[in-house]
Structure 1
Amino acid sequence: MDKMKLAVIGGSGLYELEALEDRRWVSVDTPWGAPSDEILTGTLGGVEMAFLPRHGRGHVHSPSEVPYRANIDALKRLGVTDVISVSACGSFREEMAPGDFVIVDQFIDHTFARDKSFFGTGCVAHVSVAHPTCPRLGDACHAAAREAGVRVHRGGTYLAMEGPQFSTMAESRMYREAWGADVIGMTNMPEAKLAREAELCYASVAMVTDFDSWHPDHGAVEISDIIRVMSGNGDKARRMIGRLPFLLGTQRDRCPHNCDRALEHAIMTAPDRRDPTLLARLDAVAGRVL
């Protein structure tokens, strides 16, 4: 068994975890540049935890400019084993209403301006993301949300768009009707893919703030309403996170879904043709297999 170390990546409306004990903001250097911010470390319920504000404190990084590779690498360097992504989203479903949480289990990656892999020329790797989130971790988030009194949906497809603008009505209808997406956001990709490459268990909790532009009442929604819902979602997320250490425990077995063995047969480049410079950058992410 390994020691559990749980990371939370906080999205819009969640920039701090006040409940952590022995709190300390730490700087982590990575070969991929600086993470979004310093990382808050501490313990909660006896479990070691790390908290990273995805957009930085004060919300300084746009979705396209979040340093996704540096963020995942930094968490891996800190010894993190499991990652909970918390992010704001719009909803394509009447039943997934503002204030609800959705435990995402599938993605449609519609982003195009981001670095999506740690690997490349000199060390090529292909990991499976057929099932891009960890069911064990998703189940824990679902149970924690229910215990926290949050209306939560288990399962949903997240459409990751580039942004920073929101969807046109035509796009929104296409994503909902033709593509079958349930929620829409701007930040879970390539984050989920990179977590898989780093052999980290990853779960996504999408916090609904509004119905996207497909909804007939969308035009009646004021920005003040969205901000109010976002603030309430942040409070709900803190309650949910507070339950997770008691559900997950301080120790963990190997992931039954092999998230922590994703690179087992993924690297294609022959050992004698691998680029030493790239290998050095991969020391935290792929050190187990390299």
Structure 2
Amino acid sequence: MKYKADIGVFGGSGLYSLMSDVEEIVVETPYGNPSDKIAIASIGNKRVAFLPRHGKNHSYPPHKIPYKANLYAMKMLGVKGIIATTACGSLKPEIKPGDFVICDDFVDRTWGRGDTYYDGPETKHITGAEPYDPKLRNLAIEICEEMGIRVHKKGIVVVIQGPRFSTKAESRWFSKMGWDVINMTQYPECILAKELGIPYVNISLITDYDAGLEGNEDIKPVTEEEVLRVFNENNNKVKELIFNIIGRLEV
């Protein structure tokens, strides 16, 4: 390709732009078009490719995001690592809105999504252990602590189909299973990156308590407006964290 990048960034709900003075490019992949044009710009001495996961106008619901095209576009650009931000709900009282969670594992509760590049005739069975890159996770945690961000150093994210939020019964079940946060887009994104051999880290910004917490009637079920409000309040912090990770990443 004419264009190359060192690092890829996926923006979640509420993060639709990252850099100024960008060049937007159209990347055509064997798996169709990504969610939107990809913005290319320099941050320090590194070239960064940014893609809003849902599209700039949030036009792709979670189950319709072209995950395979999004990841393959980053592969075509030659990125050596991907930083992915997501808005997540908390399933535990100690994980509060405004906190950051650097996930280390996931549980998939989705269906019908294109979730592998090995649909045949070539077949491979990759490991699901450590879906998130340990080195990138450690770097993200270290920088969060340096910035004074309240960060949880690990967490299991349960990925639901969406676009609806959980019922109270579902949320209660997820909590009792010991899972930490809930999201609609981490699968198959992180496992597709692993298939392509691209180190991947998720930065979850906690925006809500899902359908509420059992025994605490003061905590209301999540709404879309509340998710975007909390994410927007923390947008600058999220961007600063991404910039600091990019600055320290070795590519």
What range describes the TM-score normalised by the shorter chain of this pair?
over 0.9
> How far has the Cα of 1:121 moved from its partner?
2.4
- Given that 1:4 and 1:82 are in contact with CA atoms closer than 8 Å, whether structure 2 keeps it comes out as no
Give percent identity, aligned residues only. 40
Q: Report the Cα distance in structure 2 between the residues aligned to 1:223 and 1:28, rounded to whole angstroms.
A: 30
Alpha-carbon distance change, 128 to 221 in structure 1, aligned in 2, over 3 angstroms: closer
**Matching residue of 2:238:** 237
SS at match of 1:76: helix
Q: Could you give the per-residue CA deviations for residues 4-37 of structure 1, whole angstroms, max 9, x where no partner exists?
A: 811110000101013x5x5211110001010000
Cα offsets for 1:222-268 (capped at 9, x unmatched): 7654432110232211010111123214x3xxxxxxxxxxxxxxxxx
| CA RMSD after TM alignment | 1.8
Matched ranges for 1:271-286 at <5 A: none
Secondary structure at the aligned position of 1:43 is classed as strand
2:18 is the counterpart of 1:6 = no
- Residues 31/97 of structure 1: CA separation in 2 closer, same or farther (3 Å cut): same
Following TM superposition, the consecutive aligned residue runs of length 4 or more in structure 1 with deviations greater than 6 angstroms are none
Cα distance change of structure 1 residues 112 and 222 upon mapping to structure 2, 3 Å threshold = closer
Letter in 2 for 1:39: I
Could you tell me which amino acid in structure 2 is paired with residue 239 of structure 1? Answer: E
1:122 and 1:107 map into 2 onto residues whose CA distance is: 28
Equivalent residue runs for 1:190-269 within 5 Å: 190-215=188-213, 216=216, 217-219=218-220, 224-249=225-250, 251=251
Q: Cα–Cα, structure 1 residues 151 and 187, in superposed 2: closer, same or farther, change >3 Å?
A: same
1:47-66 map, 5 Å? 47-66=46-65
Pairing of 1:101-250 with structure 2 (within 5 A)? 101-177=100-176, 179-215=177-213, 216=216, 217-219=218-220, 224-249=225-250
Counterpart in the other structure of 1:24? 23
Aligned residues between the structures: 245
The answer to whether the Cα contact below 8 Å between 1:212 and 1:218 also exists between their aligned partners in 2 is: no
Seen in structure 2, the aligned counterparts of structure 1 residues 223 and 84 have a Cα distance that, compared at 3 Å, is closer
Instruction: Sort the Cα spacing of 1:124 and 1:221 in 2 relative to 1 into closer, same or farther, 3 A.
Output: closer
Whichever residue aligns with residue 78 of structure 2, its letter is G
The aligned counterpart of 1:67 is 66
Unpaired stretches in structure 2, ≥5 consecutive residues = none
Gaps of 5+ in 1: 252-290
- Give the Cα separation in 2 of the matches to 1:212 and 1:190: 21
TM-score using structure 2 length? 0.92
